[in-house]
């Protein structure tokens, strides 16, 4: 049977584009798996926003990221990739960062060429390190992995600072250094996406988001068209977080209305049932383990005599 890292590599190299929703906790990871997606990408922005309550501006550290990523990877069977930001230092730090994430059970890691503290790829004010330093970081990441199928995803943010041609040049240098998957963040047009996909030497990943109205950003393109443009992987890092906020706002608005009007809330369209929640979170698996591992006396103390 193929390992998760082998399956992840096969999905990246397949003719069909790989769709990776962004996840940030056990709820989102289990939902992505339950809905039939073949892989998930842990969103660094999502982790920062949901765990720290602050925007993705380089405030989350290595240990916080690693701890959250370990738990997410452990609760699903599909391949999961992590976002290791800039690797939390120089090439030496990158080496140990990759070792840590691989040991945590994720199946690949993304590293970017921004200057720390980094920021979300669609925010203004980004800065990038030199291509030479970034290449050494990729080389350290490749050497650090123990499993040759563990995916090293190299990201460049150089389009915003130096233009798309420099982004292509950097990505090809990262590929020469051993990166398995390349990611040009914040490309500004369909033509740019096609150009990068055509000019880079390894599989290309792009992200699709909601757009930022105050400044140009990557146009929304469906997965099938991206595949036709030559893209191997498409991520949706903010879809699930955005949907969670919208759904929660809707439910809380009804709660406020109910309190003001003195009414009981009866809106099954706003929230899943207790039973559905337990099903999603593996309650049946735990009950099965209780049947196999607890003594009869322990089970009777919990649930009463079984007739």
Q: Are 138 and 111 in contact (CB under 8 A)?
A: yes
pLDDT at residue 217, as a whole number: 77
Q: Are 131 and 173 in contact (CB under 8 A)?
A: yes
Look-up of token digits 């593996």: 282
pLDDT at residue 210, as a whole number: 67
**Residues 116, 117, 123, 126: is their CA dihedral positive or negative?**
negative
Report residue 84 as tokens: 């290791």
pLDDT at residue 25, as a whole number: 98
Residues of the chain with pLDDT under 50: 211
E strand spans, 194-272: 204-207, 233-236
Q: Give the dihedral of Cα atoms 121, 123, 127, 129; nearest 10 deg.
A: -10
pTM: 0.93
Q: Are 60 and 251 in contact (CB under 8 A)?
A: no
C-alpha–C-alpha distance, residues 81 and 149, integer Å = 12
What is the CA 110 to chain-centroid distance, rounded? 9
Nearest CA to 153 out of 196, 110, 200, 204 is that of 110
Look-up of token digits 């939390």: 88
pLDDT at residue 306, as a whole number: 65
* Structural domains of the chain ordered from first start: 4-237 (3.20.20.60), 271-301 (no CATH)
Per DSSP, what are the bridge partners of residue 155? 112, 183
């Amino acid at each position: 049977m193929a390992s998760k890292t082998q399956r992840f590599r096969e999905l990246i190299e397949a003719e069909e584009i790989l769709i990776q929703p962004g996840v940030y906790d056990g709820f989102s990871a289990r939902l992505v798996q339950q809905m039939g997606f073949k892989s998930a990408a842990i969103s660094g922005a999502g982790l920062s926003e949901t765990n720290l309550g602050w925007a993705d501006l380089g405030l989350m550290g290595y240990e916080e990221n690693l701890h959250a990523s370990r738990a997410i990877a452990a609760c699903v069977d599909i391949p999961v990739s992590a976002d290791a930001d800039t690797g939390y230092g120089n090439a030496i730090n990158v080496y140990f960062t990759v070792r840590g994430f691989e040991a945590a059970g994720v199946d690949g890691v993304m590293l970017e060429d921004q200057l720390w503290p980094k920021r979300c790829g669609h925010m203004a004010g980004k800065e990038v390190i030199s291509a030479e330093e970034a290449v050494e970081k990729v080389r350290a990441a490749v050497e650090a992995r123990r499993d040759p199928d563990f995916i090293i995803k190299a990201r460049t943010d150089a389009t915003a600072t130096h233009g798309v041609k420099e982004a292509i040049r950097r990505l090809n240098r990262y590929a020469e250094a051993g990166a398995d998957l390349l990611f040009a963040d914040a490309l500004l047009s369909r033509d740019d996406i096609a150009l990068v996909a055509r000019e880079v030497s390894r599989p290309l990943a792009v992200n699709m988001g909601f757009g930022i109205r105050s400044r140009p950003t990557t146009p929304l393109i469906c997965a099938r068209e991206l595949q036709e443009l030559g893209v191997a992987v498409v991520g949706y890092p903010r879809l699930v977080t955005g949907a969670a906020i919208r759904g929660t706002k809707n439910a809380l608005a009804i709660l406020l209305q109910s309190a003001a009007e003195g009414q009981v809330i009866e809106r099954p369209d706003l929230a899943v049932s207790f039973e559905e929640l337990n099903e999603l979170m593996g309650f049946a698996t735990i009950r099965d383990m209780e049947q196999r591992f607890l003594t009869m006396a322990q089970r009777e103390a919990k649930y009463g005599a079984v007739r």
